[in-house]
Structure 1
Amino acid sequence: MNNKEYAKIILSELNQTLPTIDIEKSNQFVDLLLNAKEIFCAGAGRSGFAVRGFAMRMMHMGLNSYVVGETCTPNIDETGLLVVCSGSGSTKSLVNHAQKAKEVGAKVALITIDPESPIAKMADVVIEISAPSPKSAKAGEIKSIQPMGSLFEQSEALYMDTLILMLMERKHMDSDTMFGRHANME
C-alpha cells in the first residue's frame, strides 16, 4: 500500500471513533473548562503530547492552563480542573494526579477508552473514545490497522480540537483574537 491508501484507511477509522463521542458529556466537559479557575492537563506518552497541545490552545484563548509536571505549574485547589488523557485510565502516575485533585476538591475530566477505569471512577466527566489499545480492557474488541494506541491518540487530539471550537463559540472568539496570544519569542 502507499501513503494515500493508508491515509484513506486512517481517516475511515477516525470517522468511526469521533462521531460516537457523547454530545451531552462533551457539553459537560466544556462547562467544566469554562467554570475552572485553572486547568491542569496530564497524560503519559503520546497522550501526553496531545494534551500539551490542548493546554496550549486554551492558553491562546486566555484560559489559565498548565501541564502537570512542568516546573512553572502551580498547585491545584478546589477551583481547578484536572484534564487527564489516558487510554487505559489506569496509568499509576495519572491515577495519583487524579487522587490528589479529588483530595483538594478539584474537578477531574477524563478522556479514555475504558469508562470503568480507576480514573473514570473519580472523574466528574468521562469521555469514552472507542478505539483499540493493548492496555485497554477492550483490547481485541475494536480493530485498527494502526499500531498500539495510535487510533486513540489521534482521536483524543482531534476531539480536544473540537472542544476548542466549542469553547471558541461559547466565548465568541475567533482565530484572530487567539493569535494575539501566540508565542512571539520563537
Structure 2
Amino acid sequence: MGITSYTDKIIGELSRSLRAVPEDAVEQLAEGILASRKIFVAGAGRSGLMMKALAMRLMQAGLDAHVVGETITPGIAKEDMLIIGSGSGETSSLLSMAGKAGGIGATVVLATISPASSIGKLADIVIPIPASPKERTGEGEVTVQPMGSLFEQSILLLFDALILRLMDHRKLDSSSMFGNHANLE
C-alpha cells in the first residue's frame, strides 16, 4: 500500500472518531475554559505533546494556560481547570494530578478512550474519544495506525476545533492571536 492509501485510511479513521465525540461535552469544556481563571494541561508521552499544543493555542488566544510539570507552572486553585489527555485514563501520575486538583476544587477534565477509567471517575467533564487503545482490548475504533496514534491525532484535531470555538466566543481571528505568538525564534 502506498502513502496516499495510508493517508486516506488515516483521514477516514479521524473523521469517524471525531464525528462520534459528543458536541455537548466539548461545548461544556469551552464554557468551562472561558469561566476559568487559569487552565492547566497534562498528558504523558505523545498525548502530552498534544496537550502542550493545546496550551500553546490557549495562550495565543489570550488565556492563562500552563503545562503541568514545567518549572514556571504556578499552583492550581479552585477557580482553575485541569485538562488531562489520557487514552487509558489510568496513568498513575495523571491520576494523582486529577485527585489533587479535584481535592482543591478545580474543575477536572479528561479526554479519553476510557470514560469509565479511574481518572474518568474523578473528572467533572469527560470527553470520550472513540479511538483504538494501544493495548487493543476491544474498546474504541479499530485502526491501521500503531499504538495510540488515532487517539493522539484525534485530540490534536478536536482541540484545534475547540480553539476555533473559543475564538468565536472571544471574537478573535488569527491576526489578533498573532500578537501572542513566540517572537524570540
Q: Deviations over 1:78-134 (max 9, x none)?
A: 011000000000100000000010111100111000010011111111000101113
State the 1:142 CA deviation.
2.8
Equivalences for 1:151-162 in 2 at 5 Å? 151-162=150-161
Task: Indicate yes or no: 2:88 matched with 1:84.
Answer: no
| Contact 1:88/1:136 (<8 A) preserved | no
Separation of aligned partners in 1, 2:83 and 2:138: 22
Separation of aligned partners in 2, 1:136 and 1:83: 24
Separation of aligned partners in 1, 2:116 and 2:60: 33
SS of residue matched to 1:108: strand
Separation of aligned partners in 1, 2:39 and 2:98: 13
| Contact 2:17/2:141 (<8 A) preserved | no
Q: Any stretches of 5+ residues in structure 1 without a counterpart?
A: none
Q: Deviations over 1:60-90 (max 9, x none)?
A: 0110000000000000010110000000001
Q: Corresponding residue for 1:74?
A: 74
Work out the percentage of aligned pairs sharing the same amino acid. 45
Separation of aligned partners in 2, 1:137 and 1:147: 14
Q: Corresponding residue for 2:16?
A: 16
| Contact 1:87/1:135 (<8 A) preserved | no
SS of residue matched to 2:84: strand
Q: Which amino acid aligns with 1:150?
A: S
Q: Corresponding residue for 2:125?
A: 125
Runs of 4 or more consecutive aligned structure 1 residues displaced over 6 Å after TM superposition: none
SS of residue matched to 2:180: coil
- Number of positions where the alignment pairs a residue of Structure 1 with one of Structure 2: 185
Tell which deviates more after alignment, 128-137 or 28-37.
128-137
Q: Corresponding residue for 1:185?
A: 184
Q: Which amino acid aligns with 2:155?
A: E
State the 1:23 CA deviation.
1.0
Task: Indicate yes or no: 2:40 matched with 1:40.
Answer: yes
| Contact 1:88/1:135 (<8 A) preserved | no
SS of residue matched to 1:166: helix
